[in-house]
Chains A and B, each alone.
Chain A
Amino acid sequence: MILETQRLSKVYSVGQEKIPALRGVDFHASAGDFIVINGPSGSGKSTFLNLIACVDRHSEGEVLIEGQATSKLSENQLAELRKRKIGLVFQSFNLIPVLSAYENVEYPLLLLGVNSSERQRRVMGLLEEVGIKDLAKRRPDELSGGQRQRVAIARSLVTEPKLVLADEPTANLDSETGKQVMSIMRRLNEDHKVAFLVVTHDPVVTQYAERTVKIRDGQLTEENSHVVAYSAA
């Protein structure tokens, strides 16, 4: 199992008031899964994503990445874990503006200390896979939204993680580009056997899921499992 959460809870404090955002969530994902978590605004889906991405601390329960409990890990250990095992795709792409597409994808490899030739092989390979090899030298402000999200997807996969977490990856894209991006993610999911977990409130995205989970009031409910002909999208 790649990811497992056990009775995962998150409570926010606003003054004296305690607001539960996640209430004892049990969840798991295996290698190669493509899971879509959907729910309305304020349902707790971003909180859930932040907790399993190890960028936020939970109040109770546990998050296990490849069987490793994360609650007792230090800041540096969590950074190490994110670097090696988790890829992230953001709603607003979150590329580094001063770096080219190539350099943005290369950045996580620099953190890992991968040598130059291997970096080049992996970066160019992924840029080709997401279809923007020719745009490698362009900076983010010279790319369209869809192209930026492809760079972000390539960046999320370049360290060969076990799990890619995508937070509303199509929210800032038009519907056609959104479909293209989802198709790419689905294809990479199959090609690389990486588990994808996509958080969205876009019903179109759900069509690409082989497993859909609904989140409401901080609780998950398994909706269905199905195989999607993503290539038709």
Chain B
Amino acid sequence: MLWHIPLRNLFRNRRRTLLGLAIIALGTAMVYAVLGYVDFTMYNIRLGTVKQYGNFQIASPLLWDEKTEKFAYLIQPDTLAKVEQILSKEPGVVAYTKQLNFSGLATTPNKTKVVRATALEPNNRALDYNDLVVTDDKEHKEWNVGKGLDPADQGKVLIGRTLAKELQLKPGDFFSVTATTVDGAYNVGPLRVAGVFRLNNEVAEGQLIFVPIAYGKTLMNTEGVAKIIVKVNNLDDSVRVASSVQEKLRAAGLELEIRTWEQLAEFYRQIKGFFGALFGFLMLSVSVLVFFIVMQVLTLAFLERTREVGTIRAIGTKRSQVFSMFFMESVMLGVFGSFTGLVLGWLLGQGFNALGIGWTPPGAIAPVPVRLSLTLGNAWLPFIVSAIATLLSSLYPVTRTARITIVDALRTA
């Protein structure tokens, strides 16, 4: 009914209103930008993690509890067949693959190094390392002829960049790998480098090798596999599908346990917790800043209208109506300020993204891009936070104004 009065009052003292708007807008833009950065970073870490672990993994509880003595955790072919039957009927499961892991010694004529081998089904659709193969390295062009593993490649291997440098290997070169079989005997096999892969993690690139699962089984003298890695059609469905499969495994009497990608990725959980705390602290700081500055701005703005308040109260405006009028003004300030902040944040963010800045995290070899995810989905939180901080900051001056004594207000010059 009386919305036009708050609206006009908002632009009455333009300098003061601009100060209030600027504080709210800057706060909103800052939160929007940081949220955009966190979101982009977490999205990429999430993608990378799922690529590394699959959506979930099925294994013996012994493996998850790290009771790996005598390889009792291995899933034998009869159990595996039952699991595969369950997975093939589960809606939401896109693909799955078997994996076997072992440690061993990689030896060239000049050097020996401890490696951790992941034996997998080449070209499977659940977890594929072939797309990590380097084909565009500017420093080591000899790596660029490398290829991924093929189901027909029994004795081929993918090695990390750091390992390739340390053992001075390139695609086409041979080395031998020594491992312990499930019976405790040593076994040695030759491997030919099919390609060199990039993980952007110096430690992992210096230790990991990928071999076909058939080769791993032969080397370890077993028919069993360590785990089954499952890919789900939608990342957000991981937990739901995992629960469904877990129930079916239990119903089939299989002593196997599922771990989702988030349970497996300790690093992801730590990063998520860190970013959560950082973002929470930033939001709190911005809210406190907006709260106090806007409260100061509104208190002064309302104070100079004391006699007007006395007048409108004297001619019959109720306290609640005065409260509504001034609160509405704060709502408008909060909404305008927050919206302006989103626009400002979006524009600055687009500019920032266009700069193409990157940074090298600890342990990484190459810089990773720093981008802000400026989506609508990331906009509502900064908007709400700034608007609520503004409204909370207005409560004291608005209440104080509404409770003014008419006679005292009318006496104000």
Chain A residues in the interface with B (C-beta under 8 A): 50, 53, 55-56, 75-76, 79-80, 82-84, 87-88, 90, 92, 94, 96-99, 103, 107-108, 110-111, 155, 159
Contact = CB atoms under 8 A, between A and B. Distances in A.
Contact of A55 (B12, B307, B314): B314
B5 A79 contact: no
15 contacts: A55-B406, A75-B319, A79-B317, A83-B315, A84-B316, A88-B314, A94-B311, A96-B5, A96-B311, A97-B12, A97-B308, A98-B8, A98-B9, A98-B12, A99-B5
Residue from the set B4, B310, B315, B410 with the largest chain A CB neighbour count within 10 Å: B315
Residue from the set B12, B317, B410 with the largest chain A CB neighbour count within 10 Å: B410
A228 B337 CA distance: 59
Contacts of A99: 5, 8
A50 B4 CA distance: 29
B269 to A, nearest CB: 55
Nearest to A95: B311
Residue from the set B310, B311, B313, B319 with the largest chain A CB neighbour count within 10 Å: B311
Interface in B143-160: none
A110 B314 CA distance: 15
Interface residues of B, number: 24
A53 B317 contact: no
Given A75-B319, A76-B318, A98-B8, A56 B407 contact: yes
Describe B's contact surface by its main secondary structure: helix
Interface of B: 1-2, 4-5, 8-9, 12, 307-308, 310-321, 406-407, 410
B271 to A, nearest CB: 52
B12 A96 contact: no
Given A55-B407, A88-B314, A90-B311, 6 more contacts: A50-B407, A90-B410, A94-B310, A98-B9, A99-B5, A111-B316
A50 B406 CA distance: 9
A94 B312 CA distance: 9
B313 to A, nearest CB: 7
A94 B308 contact: yes
Nearest to A155: B315
B316 A80 contact: yes
A110 B320 CA distance: 15
A155 B312 CA distance: 11
B311 A56 contact: no
B310 to A, nearest CB: 8
Contact of A79 (B2, B12, B316, B407): B316
A94 B410 CA distance: 9
